């Protein structure tokens, strides 16, 4: 199978994620506009609740698979089959724990049914994650990119049919399960045909022993990230109300969609490259990290400031029934630069055998997130979760920044120059948005803001950033 360049993989996956997020955003808007806030809250809560337990289905096996297969491509098939065997055990245990926990939660029967169906989604996705992992290790993301769009189209088609027939919200969860099964099937067929991997689970004691020896550091990091990503929604559902979950889900959906396009795509591409450069003691490791941070600053700062400025307008136009979430929306949008930059820092730590430090950092942030939500939700509801979201992402980047300095020494002067130029261009963009905010529609505002920012960057010649290569 052909190995693609960093630029090619980034373009393919980013383009697919942009298309997928546009489709996903439209689908979520359709659901949030037609479902009562309580029903939407229950749907989001069930997904978050199962995701919380879904961390136990992988325990870091997929990033471990990517790292080890990047180092020795011939070992990929054996690792994959043994990981499948472990995931059968882990997945069964996760489903059992989720089912028991939801039955003791006191949540309504509809929520319990949603969780039961979502457990099937959790199981299928656990295996699919590893299948696409071997393609990441092989540095070819073309197939996963195409599958990403296909899956979202299936979700929309089936979900729209359910809404048209006015069927139970449980069937909406079924749409996700159906799409997940298709995604798994496509990945499995391609892994067999393109990579020649046998997919039947295997139990080879020497490989299982090696995996279990390496997995703990990865496992805790994955568990902490999963908990961190959904604990706010779960605690809102348990400590506040289903309506509070819905009001929080609106800004969370926007912020999550943005963070999963550029930084997630770039991280998926650079992780195996980080691993190879570290193995080869290549000076390009520091350059790749530095340039990754620079590009993410260029994208994240204007996105954060633009969304924070336009939050009331966005809600007024797209979600008029959720206008009260504007302040929370602004606070969460300001976390975007910290979220973006924590992707390359976290992946660098994992790639360079600093997974224990990576785990510690995410454990500290998870603890802070849980405590913060428990303290603030009873007093200020979902706005408290928004404040914790911003603070925890700032803390994560601060901890990671200290840790990565033992591996690379990025040119801070260069990054500071980039940040100053980004700030100047963003200031021009904000001035234009402020002047026009009540005079033109949202699409025009977005277009004018984007053009103003790009113009400011071109004037300052930031477009001559050195090329990232792998």
pLDDT tens, residue order, the chain (470 aa)? 555 555 565 566 667 777 877 888 888 888 988 888 899 999 999 999 998 888 788 888 888 888 888 777 777 788 889 999 999 999 999 999 999 999 888 888 999 999 999 999 999 999 998 898 888 777 777 888 888 889 999 999 999 998 888 888 899 999 999 999 999 999 999 888 887 888 888 898 888 988 888 777 677 777 787 788 889 999 999 898 889 999 999 999 888 888 777 676 677 677 778 877 887 777 788 888 888 888 899 999 999 999 999 999 999 988 988 999 999 999 999 999 999 999 889 888 888 878 788 888 988 999 999 999 999 999 999 999 999 999 999 999 999 999 998 888 888 888 888 899 999 999 999 999 988 888 888 889 999 999 999 998 888 877 655 444 44
CB 337 within 8 A of CB 300: yes
Pick left, alpha or beta for residue 60 (phi over 0 → left; psi -120 to 50 → alpha; otherwise beta): left
pLDDT at 468: 43
pLDDT at 396: 94
pLDDT at 389: 95
H or E element, residue 336: helix 336-351
User: What is the separation of C-alpha 154 from the centre of its chain, rounded to a whole number of angstroms?
Assistant: 20
83 vs 361: CA distance, rounded Å:
26
Measured between alpha carbons, how far is residue 17 from residues 10, 145, 417 in Å? 10, 7, 30
pLDDT one-digit tens code per residue, 7-60: 565 566 667 777 877 888 888 888 988 888 899 999 999 999 998 888 788 888
Helix (H, G, I), strand (E, B) or coil at 197: coil
Q: Residue 355 — φ and ψ, nearest 5°?
A: -65, -25
CB 242 within 8 A of CB 41: yes
90 vs 309: CA distance, rounded Å:
44
User: What is the separation of C-alpha 453 from the centre of its chain, rounded to a whole number of angstroms?
Assistant: 26
239 vs 234: CA distance, rounded Å:
9
297 vs 336: CA distance, rounded Å:
10
375 vs 393: CA distance, rounded Å:
18
**Among the listed residues 91, 192, 90, 76, the one whose alpha carbon sits nearest the alpha carbon of residue 137:** 76
Measured between alpha carbons, how far is residue 259 from residues 86, 231, 339, 375 in Å? 30, 18, 7, 27
In sequence order, the 6+-apart residues with CB closer than 8 A to the CB of 57 are 87, 90, 91, 94, 122, 123, 126
pLDDT at 260: 74
DSSP string across 64-120: HHHHHHHH-GGGHHHHHHHHHHHHHHHHHHHHHHHHHHHHTTT--HHHHHHHHHHHH
93 vs 342: CA distance, rounded Å:
31
**Location of structure tokens 């360049």:** 5
Q: Where are the domains of the chain?
A: 1-239
Helix (H, G, I), strand (E, B) or coil at 261: coil
pLDDT one-digit tens code per residue, 85-107: 999 999 999 999 999 999 888 88
Q: Tally Cβ neighbours within 10 Å of residue 469.
A: 12
User: What is the separation of C-alpha 178 from the centre of its chain, rounded to a whole number of angstroms?
Assistant: 21
116 vs 177: CA distance, rounded Å:
11
Alpha helices in 204-261 (DSSP H): 205-239, 242-259
pLDDT at 65: 85
208 vs 210: CA distance, rounded Å:
5
Angle at 259 between CA 71 and CA 214, to 5 degrees: 30
């Amino acid at each position: 199978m052909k190995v693609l360049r960093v630029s090619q993989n980034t373009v393919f996956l980013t383009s697919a994620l942009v298309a997928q997020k546009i489709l996903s955003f439209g689908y979520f808007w359709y659901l949030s506009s037609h479902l009562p806030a309580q029903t939407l809250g229950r749907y989001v809560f069930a997904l978050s609740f199962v995701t919380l337990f879904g961390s136990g289905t992988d325990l870091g096996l997929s990033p471990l698979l990517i790292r080890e297969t990047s180092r020795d491509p011939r070992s990929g098939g054996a690792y994959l089959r043994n990981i499948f065997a472990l995931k059968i055990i882990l997945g069964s245990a996760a489903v059992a724990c989720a089912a028991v926990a939801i039955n003791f939660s006191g949540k309504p029967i509809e929520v319990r049914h949603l969780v039961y169906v979502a457990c099937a989604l959790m199981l299928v996705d656990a295996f699919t994650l590893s299948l696409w992992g071997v393609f990441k290790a092989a540095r070819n993301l073309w197939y996963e990119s195409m599958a990403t769009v296909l899956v979202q189209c299936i979700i929309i088609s089936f979900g729209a049919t359910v809404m048209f027939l006015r069927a139970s919200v449980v069937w909406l969860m079924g749409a996700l399960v159906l799409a997940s099964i298709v995604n798994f099937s496509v990945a499995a067929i391609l892994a067999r045909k393109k990579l020649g991997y046998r997919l039947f689970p295997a139990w080879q004691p020497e490989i299982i022993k090696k995996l279990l020896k390496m997995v703990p550091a990865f496992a805790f990091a994955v568990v902490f990230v999963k908990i961190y990503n959904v604990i706010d929604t779960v605690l809102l559902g348990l400590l506040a109300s289903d309506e509070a979950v819905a009001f929080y889900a609106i800004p969370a959906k926007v912020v999550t969609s943005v963070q999963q396009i550029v930084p997630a795509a770039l991280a998926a591409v650079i992780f195996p490259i980080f691993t190879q450069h570290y193995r080869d003691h290549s000076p390009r490791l520091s350059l790749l990290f530095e340039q990754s941070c620079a590009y993410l600053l260029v994208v994240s700062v204007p996105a954060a400031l633009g969304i924070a400025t336009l939050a009331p307008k966005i809600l007024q136009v797209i979600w008029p029934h959720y206008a009260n979430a504007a302040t929370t929306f602004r606070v969460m949008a300001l976390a975007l630069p910290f979220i973006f930059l924590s992707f390359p820092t976290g992946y660098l730590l994992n790639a360079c055998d600093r997974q224990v430090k990576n785990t510690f950092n995410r454990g500290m942030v998870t603890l802070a997130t849980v405590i913060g939500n428990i303290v603030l939700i009873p007093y200020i509801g979902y706005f408290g979760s928004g404040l914790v979201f911003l603070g925890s992402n700032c803390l994560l980047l601060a901890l990671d920044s200290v840790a990565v300095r033992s591996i690379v020494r990025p040119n801070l002067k260069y990054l500071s120059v980039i940040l100053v130029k980004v700030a100047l261009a963003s200031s021009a963009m904000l001035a234009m948005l402020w002047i026009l905010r009540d005079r033109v529609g949202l699409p025009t505002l977005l277009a004018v803001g984007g053009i103003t920012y790009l113009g400011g960057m071109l004037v300052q010649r930031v477009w001559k950033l050195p090329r990232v290569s792998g």
